[in-house]
Amino acid sequence: MSQIAAVMWKESRELIGARGTRGRDGVVGLFFLGIFGVFSPWVHGVSWLEMPIMLFAYGFLAGAAAAAPTIEAFAGERERHTLETLLATPLTDRSILLGKFFTAVLFGWGLVLVIVAVGLVSVNVFHGHDGLIFYRPLFLAWTLLVPLLAAGLYAAVGIFISLRAPTVRQAGQMLGMSIVVLLIAPVIVMALLPEAWVGPFLDHVAGLDTDRLILRVVALLLVLDGLLVRAALRRFRRGRLVLA
């Protein structure tokens, strides 16, 4: 655990120290904070606390934020000639990989938590005339879990790509393509499946209440996260990384 913490310590300081991009990232962050943390609660009022679409938005935001540092995870270290020195430390393969993964996940998730917190304040300021407005417990759980797992999914994809990519630029391009694939894959799969399968599936989904549907999405994300992290761990080989 202390080795994972050591890698997370380094990664988080590198994230903070990325001076060239700090201003731009700050503006982008403020934009999303304004849209999802202020504007949306103001417009939708109390129903903002129950909107499944918000879960999708949080998941996407957390994922995008988590993916950015993972591009640099290995490709960046390789490009800046720090990878071999990192590999020459006694840090285990698992601690290096998981340290980078958890930092990215926490970064993406943390960003969404800030937005959610600001949103709660906003909805109470704008609409909380009759007392404190808050999530119902299950929806709060979804609001916390969906962005966490989405951040995990994107971070795992990012790390997997970063392990293979020779440069940050190439890793970025591959990640961009992967995100597009992740987003449109369900649509393509549905289009390719026979009508006899799709119809009953859609009926089944339509028959589910929101919580059950979200539960299935959460379960799917959990499985995907696990599989991708496992694949990345198997892919991590010091000798291969040194020579790449």
Partner 1 sequence: MTEIALRADGLTRTFGAFRAVDGLGFEVPVGSVFGFLGPNGAGKTTTIRLLLGLLEPSAGRAEVFGLDTRTRSDEIRRRTGALLEHPGLYERLTAEQNLEFAARARNMSATERRSRIEESLARIGLLERRHEAVRGWSRGMKQKLAIARAGLHRPPLIFLDEPTAGLDPEAAATLRDDLATLAARDGITIFLTTHNLAEAERLCGLVGVIRGGRLLTVSHPDELRLRGAGQRAEIIGRHFPPATDTLLSALPGVLNACLEGERVVVDLAPDARLAPLVRLLIEAGAEIEEARRDGGTLEAAYLALMAEAGVA
Cβ 78 vs Cβ 166: under 8 Å = yes
Of residues 92 and 170, the one with the C-beta less far from partner 1: 92
Cβ neighbours for 24, distance < 8 A, ≥ 6 positions apart:
none
Cβ 155 vs Cβ 70: under 8 Å = yes
235 is a contact residue toward partner 1 (CB under 8 A): no
List 87, 113, 198, 222, residue binding partner 1 (CB under 8 A): 87
Nearest distance, CB of residue 69 and partner 1, angstroms? 12
Nearest distance, CB of residue 81 and partner 1, angstroms? 4
Spatial separation of the C-alpha atoms in residues 54 and 57, rounded to whole Å: 5
**C-alpha torsion sign, points 98, 101, 107, 109:** negative
91 is a contact residue toward partner 1 (CB under 8 A): yes
Write out the binding residues for partner 1, residues 5-64 only, by CB under 8 A. Answer: 5-7, 9-10, 13-14, 17-19
170 is a contact residue toward partner 1 (CB under 8 A): no
**Residue bearing tokens 């609660």:** 41
Nearest distance, CB of residue 188 and partner 1, angstroms? 39
Stretch that binds partner 1, among 23-31, 82-90, 116-124, 137-145 (CB under 8 A): 82-90
Of residues 88 and 180, the one with the C-beta less far from partner 1: 88
How many residues sit close enough to partner 1 to count as binding (CB under 8 A)?
28
- Rounded to the nearest 10°, the torsion over CA 174, 180, 183, 187 is -120
List 2, 24, 186, 209, residue binding partner 1 (CB under 8 A): 2
Stretch that binds partner 1, among 27-35, 144-152, 205-213, 234-242 (CB under 8 A): 234-242
List 30, 43, 80, 167, residue binding partner 1 (CB under 8 A): 80
141 is a contact residue toward partner 1 (CB under 8 A): no
Nearest distance, CB of residue 149 and partner 1, angstroms? 29
List 33, 86, 118, 182, residue binding partner 1 (CB under 8 A): 86
89 is a contact residue toward partner 1 (CB under 8 A): yes
Nearest distance, CB of residue 72 and partner 1, angstroms? 10
Interacting residues with partner 1 (CB under 8 A): 2-3, 5-7, 9-10, 13-14, 17-19, 80-82, 84-92, 238-239, 242-243
